[in-house]
Amino acid sequence: MSEILSVKELCKENILRDVSFTVEEGEMVAVMGPSGSGKSTLLYLVSGMERASSGEIRFGDTEICSMSDEALARLRLSETGFVFQQMNMFSNLDLFDNILFPAVQLKKGRTERKEAGRRAQALMEKLSIGNLGARRITEVSGGQLQRACICRSMMNRPKILFADEPTGALNQGAAAEVMEELERIHREGTTILMVTHDCKVACRCSRILYLLDGKIEGELKLLGLSARERENRAGAWLAGMGW
């Protein structure tokens, strides 16, 4: 396996301090930590949405901190997907056009646009919202809206998907459905870096990073363990972290 994301001594004002970690291609990694510890900020930085104060971030061989805004925006659109904690959908567009939006931003030709439309519809069918394309974002449930956000994040076939509390606003049933979709996307080959407050969600990842006061306090590897072992180990480890 090769490194898809490499972060070295990353700092952001007084929010993040000397954060270093790597993510291998094909991993699904969880970031946990108390509210305000810097989890969302970390995702914004490593996904290239916000600029770091200092440090190094690499997507494969590409160092992104020194890139121009334009080049970075393009790389972000074509290589990464983002599922936001606050969902961030356009209220003036229907669900279908929200999902299509990242493809439109890439400004592809007419044939590619048509293809993108078919892909948006296919993604929606896969996530069981195929019949909701014409609905406004206020006309669907929270779980349906979060699944639409996942469709949007997958629109440009990202190599790495960043997800900030993708199940945070959902009830248990809807959260389980969203988690199943993310696991399927992961099985199909997308690397995932996900923030979560939910130990059950984190247990399904290959690794958990624990952030405290803007620093990585610890890392737990869960790869190769049974579901029960993961839950036991993660539970004990998180308790030790003061979770």
Per CB under 6 A, residues contacting ligand ATP are: 15, 33, 35-41, 85
Site size toward Mg ion (CB under 5 A) is 1
CB atoms within 10 A of CB 177: 18
Least gap, CB of 33 to ligand ATP (angstroms)? 6
Nearest approach, Cβ of residue 149 and ligand ATP (Å): 16
φ and ψ of 85, to 5 deg: -60, -40
CA–CA distances in Å: residue 174 to residues 16, 130, 165: 32, 17, 13
Minimal distance, residue 40 CB to Mg ion, in Å: 3
Please say which residue, 39 or 147, places its beta carbon nearer to ligand ATP. 39
Nearer to Mg ion, 40 or 144 (CB): 40
Sign of the CA dihedral with 47 first, then 53, 55, and 61 last: positive
Quick one: what does residue 37 bind among ligand ATP, Mg ion, none, with the CB cut-off 5 to 8 Å set by partner type?
A: ligand ATP
Between the CA of residue 14 and those of 19, 44, 54, 85, 221, what are the distances in Å? 12, 15, 12, 22, 28
Between CA 208 and CA 237, with CA 231 as vertex, the angle to 5 degrees is 55
CB of residue 16 vs ligand ATP: minimum separation in angstroms?
8
What residues from 39 to 98 belong to the interface with Mg ion (CB under 5 A)?
A: 40
To ligand ATP, the closest distance from the beta carbon of 69 in angstroms equals: 17
Of 38 and 81, which has the nearer Cβ to ligand ATP?
Answer: 38
| Residue, CB closest to Mg ion | 40
CB contact at 8 A, 147 and 140 = no
- Among ligand ATP, Mg ion, none, what binds residue 121 when CB lies within 5 to 8 Å by partner kind? none
Tokens, residue 105 = 């931003």
Q: Which is nearer to Mg ion, 21 or 162 (CB)?
A: 162
CB 28 within 8 A of CB 204: yes
Minimum Å gap between C-beta 201 and Mg ion is 14
Q: Say whether residue 196 binds Mg ion (CB under 5 A).
A: no
Phi first, then psi, for residue 157 (nearest 5°) are 50, 65
Q: Using CB under 5 A, which of the segments 34-42, 46-54, 130-138, 142-150 binds Mg ion?
A: 34-42
d(CA 209, CA 206): 10
- The answer to whether residues 164 and 12 touch, using CB atoms and an 8 Å cutoff, is no
Part in contact with Mg ion (CB under 5 A); list of ranges 22-30, 32-40, 126-134, 166-174: 32-40
